Structure 1
Amino acid sequence: MKLLYTLALLFTLSSCTGQQSKSPIQKKLTDDQLLTLVEKQTFNYFWDGAEPISGLARERFHSDNIYPDKDKDVIATGASGFGVMSILVAIEREFITRQQGFERLQKSVNFLQKADRFHGAWSHWIYPSGKVKPFGKNDDGGDLVETSFLMQGLICVRQYFKDGNPQEKALAAQIDQLWKEVDFDWYRNGGKNVLYWHWSPNIGWKMNFAVTGYNECLIMYIMAAASPTHTIPAEVYHEGWAKNGAINTDFTLYGHQIKLAHNGEKNNVGPLFWAQYSYLGLNPKGLKDRYADYWKENTNHALIHYDYALENPKKFKGYGANSWGFTASYSVNGYSAHSPKNDVGVISPTAALASYPYTPKESLKMMRHLYEDLGGHVWGEYGFYDAYSETANWYPKRYLGIDQGPIVVMIENGRTGLLWNLFMSAPEVQKGLDKLGFTYKK
């Protein structure tokens, strides 16, 4: 959504052919070994590749050095939320020690506490100084969606450390205070029954972006309902996000039923990040309200992408059971929110890999093909590169933080449910879901 407004202008990419990765491809790994390798290598984006002052996630990293070094140090708020979750995965998988993870997270939380905030919400981009980096001409203040992605991750960190040693408990309390300072109610723009994406002390509500469903922003309404200090009434969700029921549709593609109108469309599905970003902590298994069964919805969303690649109506090279999945990513002509409706011959690995909980067999088959067959064309120091096109012979050696994070988190959720269990254990999350009329697994 909002990414398209500015990133499409920022990212004009030249074609390049891939070279062999420095780390040799290991053939005949078991499924578990391959999953662990992909998690570990991708996690390194948020560890070795983190912005050094804050320890948080860079917006992007280009191994091909197309952009100057200064662009590598822009901190991405949403990707940082995904990154802190990946650190918990790394502790559990013993990629790092618990103490190493704690120290990095403490550094990051200290940074966030001092960084610019706008009624408790962080901006989309942050300089290493802690000052806001404008995302666009009129986007130089609080970003409630990116803040919700960040807080989803920080709530998981809080739950992970809340019963630990005194230092860990203090970190959990520090996160709790940041959480309580996010003024979700303010972002109703004067008490309207809808949440607004942006507010700036310089331009106020000029962006005028009321967030309605269905798209990647469900988590913002869940977090707002869950807030212990600045909550919203249920009407904001039902009248704003769900548009008094207009969020619903009922159609079938490739035999898979869809009940939610993706950005208001009644007969198509959007990019796959809509089935991922809100569900890194929010467990879709058993999650239902009056509008949808979110496990069925997300699984069918992923299967439609898979079956579309099998059909391959535009006859792009390489599409099929081994190469599928469309989402917002780099593209052959800039940046694009790829989907079956917006197919330009580009595959984004994060789309299928972060769908692992929904489509484990299909995602694993794709993962193995990427690793064993395409190899160094798509595999680098921080896992799989952001996107590729066999049709265009286009294999850019570039990463986006917001695409790398869901790979680590959703693979782990599919394997152990780690982040789902942590987030759903938060008492205020449960109260928020109850308020909005959800049923869910506790």
Structure 2
Amino acid sequence: MRDFARSDSPAVQRQLDRLGRLSVPDGRLGLETIRALLDRIGNPQLRLPPVFHVAGTNGKGSTCAFLRAMLEAQGYRVHVTTSPHLVRYNERIRLAGKLIEDARLAELLGEVLDSGEDLNPSFFEVTIAAAFTEFARVPADACVVEVGLGGRFDATNVLGPEVLAACGIAALGIDHERFLLVPEAGVPAEPLARIAFEKAGIAKPGTPLVCLSYPGEVRGEVMAAAARVGAPLAMHGEEWDTEVAEALRYRDERGELVLPLPALPGAHQAQNAALAVALLRHQDKLPVSRAAIAQGLTQARWPARLQRLADGPLAGAREVWLDGGHNPDAGRMLGEHFAGRRLHLVIGMLDAKDPAALTEPLAPNIVSLSVVPVPGHEWHPAAAFGARAAGKPDVATALADLPADGLPVLIAGSLYLAGEVLRLNAELPD
């Protein structure tokens, strides 16, 4: 899958064009290529500030956003790499609080590509090599690294115990089946257990593995992964626990914290916030106070995840919500959040995703269903969403064609679509 990154900087665009020409041979799995690439550029992954490494199907990006906010509230300088970007490739590499600047990004990508283009690395492998190179060069106190896809064979999984502060696993669900459920000997057969096996592949010797609670066989796979490598396991409901009401109450062996509810919309964000708290509480490389944790909960931002759009060129003054969710778990979350509310749904989904993943949980809410393209990608046409769906050429047309009935609008189905919406509404992530 290509990311079709674009930049207004000609120097950056030249390097992004080179990135776009890279391809990965079908079926290639493993860390050999990223390790070879990093070796050629001096193994920067060995010289990073303490790293928080976060995997999961849903919520890992939000967990990273909470971690960053809490660490920065403590006064730490924090490097962050997350994916995908929404509007600008620069969003993937945040240096001590600021997105990487175009001039340095162009130079950095050129250096990495020149060093290893003959290795046929992937878009993501080059991105991670570039991020780690800069993280090792620019002074900071901590790194937050989001796993791209899976865990065991993800390019970020070159991180070792020498730099890791803690590893985390957020909510688990079925997604990216093409990659994560490839038949292989000696791995779990049950799909969700296999997902857990892949995600828990980030566990490292002596490094705390902090996770949510999971059912049956899934729980067993996470526990087994921790035991295999000798990672101390901190699981929700066992080593730590939470209660959510008028406040977020967090408990572990060090005591109880009474914290404000997270500012990010959605009841599910309390779970992601609690995981971030647990990650900080179960590591010993960077002390973080209760006050900094509380401040981070109220200041964290994570665009395109149940984001209420500001008045802008696209949204106008209407109540418009944006979410990049595209799998059944995201659909359930959206269904719960909008329970009892009628809304207009504008959806664009990649053709590899299940069209019903969002429309079924939201069915009781949907007054109208508009289907739009996902720019630069293969996408599901209106026919894939049933007889009541209406095809529209773009989001602007879909919004303009809606009645002025005061009902909210939800735009969802793809992070790539979400990025286009933010660009059109002049809300560039910073």
TM norm structure 2: 0.31
| Structure ranking higher on relative contact order (CA contacts 8 Å, 6+ apart) | 1
